[in-house]
Copies of this chain bind each other. A is one copy, B any other.
Amino acid sequence: MENSKRTVTCGELTKADVGKKVVLNGWVSRTRDLGGLIFIRLRDRYGITQVMVGDNASDEVKKIAASLKSEYCIAVEGVVAARAEKDVNKDMATGEIEVEACDIEIFTTSQELPFSIEEVRQKDGTLVVANEDLRLKYRYLDLRREPMQHNIILRSAVTFATREFLTSKGFLEIETPTFIKSTPEGARDYLVPSRVHPGKFYSLPQSPQLYKQLLMVSGFDKYFQIARCYRDEDARGDRQPEFTQIDMEMSFTNREEVLDTTEELMRHIFKKTLNYELPVHFDRISWDDAFDLYGSDKPDLRFDMKMQDAAFMADLSDFNAFKAGAANADKNIERHKRSGLKALVVKNAADKYSRKHIEALEAVAKINHAKGLAWMKVDAEGKFEGGISKFFAGKEAEICSRLGAEKNDLLLFVSDEKWQTACVALGAVRKQLGKDLNLYNPKDEFHFAWIIDFPYFAWNEEENHWETEHHMFTLPQKKYWDTLESDPGSVKGDLYDLVLNGYELASGSMRINDPALQERIFEIVGYSRERAEKAFGFLVQAFKFGAPPHGGIAPGLDRLIMLMCHEESIHEVIAFPKNNLAMSPMDECPSAVDQSQLDDLHLKCTEVEK
């Protein structure tokens, strides 16, 4: 072929192009040989075009066409032709046309594939997908599959929409260093040994937190960065050694402005990339209410089934298990003024839940540290049946009225000395019910909410001291400033989490900018001046030169894209992820290195994996 460079992509030809001479480049998705006529599905990032090799083609070209196999990379020169009415494919953007080839050039051939690039379904319609390690080993092929193309392309669109919006609002994207000082606080750091400074190490950032706060001290006033972060955690679920966050920080601001800006950012992203309209403002739920109503600080609000306080029931019978939950008075109850006896009314579900199904729910409660899951059903006559019903015979009217229960409802209870334990356990049951019964509101595909008013301090029972729930630069809400030392347990922080469909998407706070207030916090949590100095000395120092009021937030990009793509793992939205052992089956990293590399770094391995 004289010039094999494409003139059009495989996704753009329509009836309007009939008669045009074109060159297409792409991969052979499939060929069909109908004796004399050969059809080629040619694929690129933009779509699929049907190529027909027939009368226009020389014998030479027909021979090439007959030799094509899946995933050969080729160029086709041909003329756009309308398909016959009966052959039009309405499901395909280019389904009205085909290209009659006059020439074909094979750029490169392909070996047999380890798995199919095209969608393969079992007889029952289930999608056949290769196991993950095989997919990751041949990730470059896995990425050719349509769902992966979709996810990666959406990710690119989301990051651009993010930058477009934030730039239009006057935010500056500023790169912070990824070689920073290791601090022994928080999660485990990844370290990078220094060759020039023997025995010394750089650390990779768990987030740009300290540096973005320094940028506020520098006066950059609206900062963002789509930042790579690192956390050396044990492999669990969906964690990756490296992950990406949309890191933001603002000066001369307040909580309302940070929340508004984040809501507007999300609206822009969803509108621009999914054409999905989010509400102007997201729900706001206090941390107390989030646990009390949904048993989680990241509740799934796509369905509205709230937990209720059932303390009143303890007095209605001599069922002992309920007494403790209703009556206890631990530090947390005092703090939250709520009981540890929680109820869920599952509407119209009594006949759907057998004893066996309820046992499965109880297992969920127990995994979440409940002692058990009590239950009873409201039968067709309005009587209680099953489970703990015998303890409450005759009290149906009062209980149903106060809990809003009706015939055929299933009632579930967790009672625990600790309010939070009861909430979390029953909240997990609530989440399971949402899945089991598919309670999700189909009009509420993406349900955002803010969790606010977090407790600032938490009592560490083992070590017998207060510690901060979030990091130590978080601003306590102003109304508690006088009682920080005298009543730490009541202090709320100027903290906010953004949750989406049951996932924590972002965490943020207003920060302390007053060195004196910062020292009070260090003292309350028992941080010596030396320890604070060693860990955060340069930030504390910076705040002595006129630090502005500031605050920020950092939505996790991987998780956002995962939810936007309706995927269940962030692996599906990262081009080259590690597996759950923090390994890449493709390039086999991490790997052993040459002894000379270790010598250069003044290091010796004390143990070596076989």
**Other-chain residue from B26, B156, B180, B198 in contact with A609 (beta carbon distance below 8 A):** B198
Given contacts A108-B514, A181-B589, contact A175 B228 (CB under 8 A): yes
Give the nearest-CB partner of A542 in chain B: B140
Write out, one digit per residue, whether chain A residues 225-257 have a CB within 8 A of any chain B CB (1) or not (0).
000100010110000011010000001111001
Distance in angstroms between the alpha carbons of A604 and B199 in the assembled complex: 9
A89 within 8 A of B: no
Distance in angstroms between the alpha carbons of A447 and B603 in the assembled complex: 46
Q: Are A590 and B202 in contact (CB under 8 A)?
A: yes
Shortest Cβ distance from A485 into chain B, in angstroms? Answer: 22
Q: Are A192 and B190 in contact (CB under 8 A)?
A: yes
Give the nearest-CB partner of A71 in chain B: B546
Given contacts A108-B547, A544-B110, contact A602 B591 (CB under 8 A): no
6 interchain pairs (CB within 8 A)?
A45-B221, A175-B228, A192-B204, A199-B592, A200-B589, A210-B587
**Other-chain residue from B203, B254, B607 in contact with A602 (beta carbon distance below 8 A):** B607
A480 within 8 A of B: no
Distance in angstroms between the alpha carbons of A603 and B604 in the assembled complex: 6
A588 within 8 A of B: yes
A27 within 8 A of B: yes
Size class of the contact patch on chain A: 35 or more
A605 within 8 A of B: yes
Q: Are B221 and A44 in contact (CB under 8 A)?
A: yes
Within 8 A of B (CB), among A152-202: 152-153, 155-156, 159-160, 163-164, 167, 172-182, 184, 188-202
Q: Which residues of B contact A149 (CB under 8 A)?
A: 219-220
A543 within 8 A of B: yes
Q: Which residues of B contact A597 (CB under 8 A)?
A: 182, 184, 188-189, 191, 201
A600 within 8 A of B: yes
A531 within 8 A of B: no
Q: Are B605 and A202 in contact (CB under 8 A)?
A: no
Shortest Cβ distance from A426 into chain B, in angstroms? Answer: 35
Give the nearest-CB partner of A600 in chain B: B188
Given contacts A174-B156, A575-B215, A590-B200, contact A191 B192 (CB under 8 A): yes
Q: Are A575 and B176 in contact (CB under 8 A)?
A: yes
Given contacts A191-B597, A191-B601, contact A200 B110 (CB under 8 A): no
Distance in angstroms between the alpha carbons of A548 and B6 in the assembled complex: 12
Q: Which residues of B contact A543 (CB under 8 A)?
A: 108
Q: Which residues of B contact A26 (CB under 8 A)?
A: 219
Shortest Cβ distance from A516 into chain B, in angstroms? Answer: 10
**Other-chain residue from B6, B254, B603 in contact with A605 (beta carbon distance below 8 A):** B603
**Other-chain residue from B27, B179, B589 in contact with A241 (beta carbon distance below 8 A):** B179
Shortest Cβ distance from A581 into chain B, in angstroms? Answer: 7
**Other-chain residue from B160, B576, B583 in contact with A197 (beta carbon distance below 8 A):** B583
A513 within 8 A of B: yes
Q: Are B242 and A201 in contact (CB under 8 A)?
A: no
A549 within 8 A of B: yes
Given contacts A582-B194, A601-B191, A607-B198, contact A160 B144 (CB under 8 A): no
Q: Which residues of B contact A211 (CB under 8 A)?
A: 575-576
